């Protein structure tokens, strides 16, 4: 299955479930819980315009943390923007920008481990600094972008019956 939601859809339960922070469930990459200044807007098809993540209000120099355990696959400047990208178990990748990295490529990180500090300069940010936080399943060339807010451990999972 490509997404957590798709995997859960095969279950025929119809009541809310409280999830624990394990597996692909993530935590906020900044503390305290931030304000979302721009929501996820999935492009369809994938190559069209859209917003492939969420923008979280922050402050310049604020610590940015790994949303889940994984391996740093990129930490540097990409298309003029400082980015950190982490590969998580099961094919999930998360990205964080603009972040001045304190981690390096190949480094294994734990959930909540410091990745670097938030920098100013994210286009369209209505406050001093915004973290663009993205999530995708699969290899970059064929990635399916997903809303990272739906992967947070604090987001309740609601299972619905199969259509039938």
Q: Where are the domains of the chain?
A: 22-153
Q: How far apart are CA 155 and CA 114, in angstroms?
A: 23
**Which residues in the chain come in under a pLDDT of 50?**
1-22
What is the pTM for the complete model shown?
0.77
pLDDT tens, position by position, 31-75 = 999 999 988 877 766 666 656 789 999 999 999 999 999 999 999
The Cβ of residue 74 has, within 10 Å, a number of other Cβ atoms equal to 16
Residue 90: phi, psi to the nearest 5?
A: 80, 5
Q: What confidence score (pLDDT) does residue 97 get? A: 96
Q: What confidence score (pLDDT) does residue 162 get? A: 72
Q: How far apart are CA 124 and CA 71, in angstroms?
A: 29
Q: What confidence score (pLDDT) does residue 32 get? A: 93
Quickly name the fold that domain 22-153 has: Glucose Permease (Domain IIA) (2.70.70)
Q: What confidence score (pLDDT) does residue 149 get? A: 92
The full length of the chain comes to: 164
């Amino acid at each position: 299955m490509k997404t957590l939601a798709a995997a859960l859809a095969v279950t025929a339960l119809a009541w809310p479930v409280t999830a624990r922070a394990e597996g692909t469930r993530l935590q906020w990459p900044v503390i305290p819980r931030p304000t979302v200044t721009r929501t996820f807007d999935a492009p369809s098809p994938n190559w069209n315009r859209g917003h492939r993540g969420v923008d979280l209000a922050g402050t310049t120099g604020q610590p940015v943390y790994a949303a889940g355990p994984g391996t740093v696959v990129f930490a540097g400047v990409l298309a003029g923007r400082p980015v950190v990208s982490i590969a998580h178990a099961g094919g999930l990748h998360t990205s964080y920008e603009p972040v001045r990295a304190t981690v390096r490529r190949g480094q294994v990180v734990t959930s909540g481990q410091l990745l670097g500090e938030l920098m100013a300069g994210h286009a369209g940010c209505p406050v001093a600094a915004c973290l663009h936080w993205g999530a995708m399943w699969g290899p970059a060339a064929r990635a399916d972008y997903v809303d990272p807010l739906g992967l947070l451990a604090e987001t309740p999972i609601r299972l619905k019956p199969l259509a039938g």
